[in-house]
Structure 1
């Protein structure tokens, strides 16, 4: 597939948002894995926009050329990091991402790849977070739905700080394999 003016279509665009990746066991390795998969472009939001001033035109051009959008980040206070929220607010605007005549994202895939500090069992009605983890996914599902994107089941690592090296390695390998599959789709 090609984008405008004969440019090759970037298959997968990974938007990485972690304010301190040097302190991350999980997200840093996932970002490194994404960079190693042919056909994947990773945008590190905190590295690219330390002042939070997002180049909307450049980000929209980047996204328009992608067949899939991946959000890669830790879950912080039940949602996305602040710079990713700013990216969503400024890049995914009416008339371009959704609404009358907006076709830029329609039919693309949307995949959430995230980690939590708490173990999976902490996400239950009678546990620390009071809800199953799926209760915290509606904003992401709605971004995909509103923009006409196809939702891919999230890839989540719970208890990231306590995960064994074996568990972490398997999680990263599964992520890289799925990215490779998305580039071939």
Structure 2
């Protein structure tokens, strides 16, 4: 790890200016020391990702944050394209692909629906953790350390106070890196993903 830990935030929102929560989260990170922010839809509106540039930014980082809204139980198309072309065999994984080994990976994601919809009895029929294996496996394949995600449920109905609280928690978490990587994980309720569920508008 670098003497001063470096954080790279990869942000993908196809409608950034209409975002209620992600935009606030991302904008709050601009100017933070040791944090590099990349708005992928702003950088690559044509989806032509500069692989060499992005690999150099990843190689210089200690913590990589994937921030995006959940779309069809997955990531936005440009985030998927980024991972497809940047995490090359022989660079990010494979026999000689060690560029990301030992780095930390954190998912910061928002959902439109409430937390209660991500249960076995809810609208989506599964706990949120069931949608995380592709992210966890990506970290594993690249030799990265996967950490419990930061999740904001119910973004469509969130009020100003809840959004502000979540933004501050997000900023504080990145500001405390890498201290929290060594803290024990907190137990979570059954049928709920291991992560930090900061807000759910259906709860008091």
TM-score grouping bracket, smaller chain normalisation: over 0.9
Which residue pairs with 1:35 in the alignment?
Answer: 30
Q: How does 1:13-28 map to 2 (within 5 A)?
A: 13-28=8-23
Q: 2:49 aligns with which of 50, 54, 57?
A: 54
Tell me the secondary structure at the aligned position of residue 176 of structure 2.
helix
In structure 2, runs of 5+ residues without a counterpart are 182-204
1:167 alignment partner, one of 162, 168, 185: 162
Distance (whole Å) between structure 1 residues aligned to residue 5 and residue 47 of structure 2: 25
How many residues align structurally? 180
Q: Quote the residue 1:90 is aligned against.
A: 85
Q: Which has the higher strand share?
A: 1
Cα distance change, pair 119–64 in 1 and its aligned pair in 2 (3 A): same
Contact 1:73-1:114 within 8 A present in 2 as well: yes
- Greater relative contact order (CA < 8 Å, ≥ 6 in sequence): 1
When the two structures are superposed, what TM-score results if normalisation uses the length of structure 2? 0.84
The SS at the match of 2:38 is strand
Distance in 1 (CA, whole Å) between partners of 2:175 and 2:99 is: 23
Q: Which residue of 2 aligns with 1:5?
A: none
| 1:57-68 equivalence runs, <5 A | 57-68=52-63
1:80 corresponds to: 75
CA deviations on 1:121-153 (whole Å, 9 max, x unpaired) are 001112110100000000111111111111111
Distance 1:63 1:181 in 2: 20
CA–CA separation in structure 2 for the residues paired with 1:175 and 1:66: 18
Tell me the equivalent position of 1:181. Answer: 176
Shift of the alpha carbon at 1:34? 1.6
Q: Distance in 2 between matches of 1:52 and 1:9?
A: 32
For the residues of structure 1 that align with 2:57 and 2:73, how far apart are their CA atoms?
27
Unaligned segments of structure 1, at least 5 residues: 3-7
Give the structure 1 partner of residue 193 of structure 2: none
Q: CA deviation at 1:9?
A: 6.9
